[in-house]
Homo-oligomer: A and B are copies of this chain.
Amino acid sequence: MKPSLVFIALLLAITAFSGSTQKQTFLKWELGYSKSASETPSKWIPATVPGAVQLDIAKADKYEPFYYAEHWKDYLWMEDQFYTYRTKFDAPEKATGESVFFVSKGIDYEFKVFLNGAEIWHQEGMFTPVNLNLSDKLKPTNELKVLVYPVPKKHPLPADRSQAANVAKPAVSYGWDWHPRLVPLGIWDETYLEIRQASHVDDFHMNYALNKDFSEAEIDLQISGQNLKTQAFRWTLQDKEGKEVLRSDGKTQLTLTKPKLWWTHDHGEPYLYTSTLQLLNDQGQAFQTLVSKIGFRRVKLVMNEGAWGDPEGFPKSRSVPPAQLEINGRKIFCKGTNWVNPEIFPGIMNRERYNQLLSLAVEANFNILRVWGGGIVNKESFFELCDEKGILVWQEFPLACNNYPDDAHYLSILKQESASIINRVKKHPSLAFWSGGNELFNSWSGMTDQSLPLRLLNRQCLELDPNSPFIPTSPLMGMAHGNYVFRDLQTKEEVFSSMARARYTAYTEFGMPAPASVEVLKTIIPKEELWPPKPGTSWESHHAYKAWVGNTWLCQDIIEDYFGVSNSLEELVANGQLMQGEGYKCIYEEARRQKPYCAMAINWCYDEPWPTAANNSLLSYPAIPKPGFYAVKNACRPVLASAKFSKFKWTEGETFFADIWMLSDLPKDVSAGKVTIKIRTGTSEMTLLNWEFNAMKANTNQSGPTVRCKLPAWKTDRFKVILEVEGHPEYKSEYTLAYQPRSVERVRTTPVMNQ
């Protein structure tokens, strides 16, 4: 067991396992607050752990829900209090040599721990687990307290994200264009007492390297813990059927031949093995068992095809950096979405909530999630589910849109937090690559390659997880970032036109706003404010107005420019949601047409942390698909017929045209076939062309003809373009475009055409 016994100097770096035989006791907590650290709270209320102090107070004192109307403002005072969690417990029974540990997987953000009145720990950082041996200080009955400091703020004003510029705490909580100002505090992940043997494992990592042709995995078992030196262990690896495929009785270096590889769900099977590590006593009996899921894959970021050609001629300079993901030697096109905190208070996130969202991500044909640096690094169950479902995770560190400083204190916290994050997450095959954070190289942040926090993160990733790629931030040169509207607010250029002009290695944040459904709107906006929407009402604090730049996110003027003044909330919502879907389809499909130079299409954003009135998200809170979700799902199918349009609105008598393609990201060949292209209104249908396309090699597209027709006189404000593929209903695509009859009189058809 000696060769690879790693002594991890960082006391706190223990990690969660899928299963462990150590005995855990969950405690009952109370919460109080006060104006200073020294003052004792005058009142105690029940605390939910894990959770957030705000939720406990709201429950105890019967606050209106923060998501309704303007009630989030009632919670603002809670930022500046000191919070004390307390619990009483009897000293647990334990055998000789055993110890009692206080374990918390996460406390947000700076805190002290007191046992029976004495301070035993002080920490800054919510991602580094707490792991305190209480044994020496235990009495028959004990009081444990956790004192949580107020929300850290770089400066008292302005009350915006820049207050988070010197902490490793998600900046989103300080306010964003789709997130109210609500900054969580408190115990936010699993917390308990645990009995541990004198000899025990704190952390286990099965490191491996795949050889060139993936026929062998060289395995290195990395075990760290207490008093392990003379301890024997047994380790086994079982396949999905439970068959043991590898076993070690004390050796740390092993070879697995013909490992079954882990793939994303669209490229193969997300194959997981079961790893079981057992510490053995002198009689060979196991007294600690750690069970976890293991996947074998190799991830690389390589240059996009054709990118070495930029720039041509002199003066020469570097090309755009790699944005092509390669999994197990295969270049894959990444289709996905930007994941944001699904809750304002992530402490209440659990496996069920994650599962709800991740099951929908698979349904949407997504193979990657960019976990945006404005939010948290998710809990373990998130990664476990991504492993199982075959979804890749582009994981950012919690830095976003700020100039994080070259400051010794901040760097030391970042070093600690990043080590905890990396050592936990690197065990998951779903990890695609690391990113230093969101938009750090942009002018509004002001960080550069020279910024020490980013150089430190690169170093940390290289040191702790050298086999995973690292990018300092996103976007990088060559990646498109934005736009976030159907047509540009200044130039009025539509997404159809700007995408046709664009040539990027990856589209990593593009948005299309849509209002929430009427049902959702009714749960957040008081009845009297619902119609018509107006700035200065709950519409505004739920991001329909002045949320980002200009008149976002409702964009009523743009919607009505195409379809005329809305007569009802229902009509406005339906038209806005239709445009979100058509806009998103345009981008996803055009990005796919630009393959292989382009390798990623990742929209902004997937979910939202509370119900917004309007947002770029595909899901309303908590996980309600907007119509745009289904549009995107269709655009991300492995194989589909696709049409490229030059604009959204067409006029009677004008010659309509569209370029026809067959798109395939399938890892298998597609046989030849026939696409029939039609246009249709409520009352009429015309076939424009039959295109017989050739057989397609795996993972390649085929460009087809341009279809044209002079648009007839219709009494409608929209029409559909339909692409049917003979014998393959699953390849069929439909698009809705706006239509302008010559008559000045406004024509309205029923707007619900985008199911």
Contact = CB atoms under 8 A, between A and B. Distances in A.
A479 interface: yes
Interface stretch (A73-81, A313-321, A710-718): A313-321
Nearest to A443: B308
A441 B475 contact: no
A488 B302 contact: no
A452 interface: yes
A595 interface: no
- A308, A450, A455: most-surrounded residue (chain B CB, <10 A): A450
B452 A455 contact: no
Contacts of A300: 450
Contacts of A670: none
Contact of A303 (B309, B317, B448, B462): B448
A448 B433 CA distance: 15
A455 B477 CA distance: 18
Nearest to A455: B462
A352 B143 CA distance: 75
B319 A479 contact: no
Given A449-B321, A449-B322, A449-B471, A480 B303 contact: no
Contact of A477 (B317, B446, B480): B317
Given A302-B448, A309-B443, A450-B300, A317 B479 contact: yes
A324 to B, nearest CB: 10
A308 B442 CA distance: 7
A318 B450 contact: no
Contacts of A309: 443
Contact of A316 (B322, B446, B481): B481
Contact of A319 (B314, B443, B470, B481): B443
B441 A319 contact: yes
A74 B459 CA distance: 47
Size category of the binding interface on chain A: 35 or more
B448 A452 contact: no
A190 to B, nearest CB: 33
Contacts of A317: 475-481, 504
A119 interface: no
A469 B449 CA distance: 9
B463 A459 contact: yes
A504 B480 CA distance: 22
Contacts of A504: 315, 317
Contacts of A322: 448-450
B458 A318 contact: no
A319 B459 CA distance: 23
A302 B448 CA distance: 8
B466 A315 contact: no
A5 to B, nearest CB: 19
A599 to B, nearest CB: 14
Contacts of A450: 300-302, 321-322, 469-470
Contacts of A620: none
A16 interface: no
Contact of A458 (B315, B441, B458, B469): B458
A442 B318 contact: yes
Given A315-B480, A448-B321, A477-B477, A455 B443 contact: no
Contacts of A517: none
A441 B443 CA distance: 24
A301 B448 CA distance: 9
A604 to B, nearest CB: 12
18 contacts: A302-B448, A302-B450, A303-B448, A314-B483, A315-B480, A315-B481, A315-B482, A315-B483, A315-B498, A316-B480, A317-B477, A317-B479, A317-B480, A318-B475, A318-B476, A322-B450, A452-B466, A455-B458
Interface of A: 300-303, 308-309, 314-319, 321-322, 441-443, 446, 448-450, 452, 455-456, 458-459, 462-463, 466, 469-473, 475-483, 488, 498, 502, 504, 507, 510
Given A317-B477, A321-B448, A452-B462, 12 more contacts: A301-B450, A314-B483, A315-B483, A315-B498, A315-B504, A316-B442, A316-B482, A317-B480, A318-B476, A319-B442, A449-B472, A450-B469
